[in-house]
Amino acid sequence: MSQGSGAREFLVETDFHKKARRAGGVTRNQAVGDAQAQLETLKEEFTDWTRDGLERLQSAIQLAETCPDNVLLIEDAFRNSCELRDIGTTVGYELVTFVANRLCEVLTAIRNGADYDKELIRCHLNALQLARQDTYKNVSPDQVPDLCDGLRRAAERSISLAGRIGK
C-alpha cells in the first residue's frame, strides 16, 4: 500500500463534501425511515420483477444447458442470479437472496470446472420460485432449515467436485 516516492498529497473538498454537510439535512433516523417507506412502495412490484428475473434466469440456464462448456453462457446465468441475490433482502425477501447466492456458488463451481448438474440447477430454480412467494416474505433462512440445508449440501457437493478436479 506504499504510495511510493514522488507522491503528491493534496486536499480535495468536492461539492459532495461541502453540500452534504450543509444545514437542513436529514437525520439518520428520519432518512432511514423515509427510505424504507419509499422501498415499501416498490415491494409491490417485486413479485412481477422476480417473475421476469426468474424467466431471464431460466432462459439463460436453458441456453447454458445446450453448451455447458460455454463460459459466456454460464456467465450470463451467473449475472441473472446475482441480480436476484443482490435485491432480495433489500425488499424483505431474504430467502431469495439466500437461494440465489447458493445458485451463484453452483455456477461459479461450474465455471471453475465442476460438471454441469442439471438437477442441481433445477432444484435451485424451484427453490427460487418458492422463495419469491408472499408466504416467504420476511422469512429468514434459519426459519426454513430443511430447505436451506438441502441446498447448502447440494451446492457444497458441486464446489467440492470442482476442487477435486483441481481447476
Partner 1 sequence: MKNATLNLRDLVILVADPSPYMCMLANSMLRGFGANKAMDARSSIDAIQILTEQKIDILLLDNLLPPHGGLKLTHAIRRNVNNPNRTVPILLMTSDTRESTIKYARDAGANMVVAKPMSPSSLYDRLSWIAFNPRNFVDAPTYFGPDRRFKIEGFPTGVGRRQGDKAIEVSEETGPTLAQDDIDSLFNSSRV
In angstroms, the CA 107 to CA 99 distance is 12
Q: Which stretches of the chain bind partner 1, using CB under 8 A?
A: 1, 3-4, 6-17, 19-28, 31-39, 41-42, 45, 49, 53, 79, 82-83, 85-91, 97, 101
Work out whether the CA dihedral 62, 63, 65, 68 comes out positive or negative: negative
Of 6 and 166, nearer to partner 1 (C-beta) is 6
Q: Nearest distance from residue 3's CB to partner 1, in Å?
A: 5
Q: CA-based diameter of the chain, in Å?
A: 60
CB of residue 82 vs partner 1: minimum separation in angstroms?
6
Q: How far apart are CA 102 and CA 74, in angstroms?
A: 15
Closer to partner 1 by Cβ: residue 75 or 146: 75
CA separation for the pair 87, 81 (Å, rounded): 10
**Minimum Å distance from CB 138 to partner 1?**
14
Asked if 128 and 54 count as a contact pair (C-beta separation under 8 A), the reply is yes
Rank residues 13 and 134 by Cβ distance to partner 1 and give the closer one. 13
Q: Return the number of the residue (80 or 116) whose C-beta is nearest partner 1.
A: 80
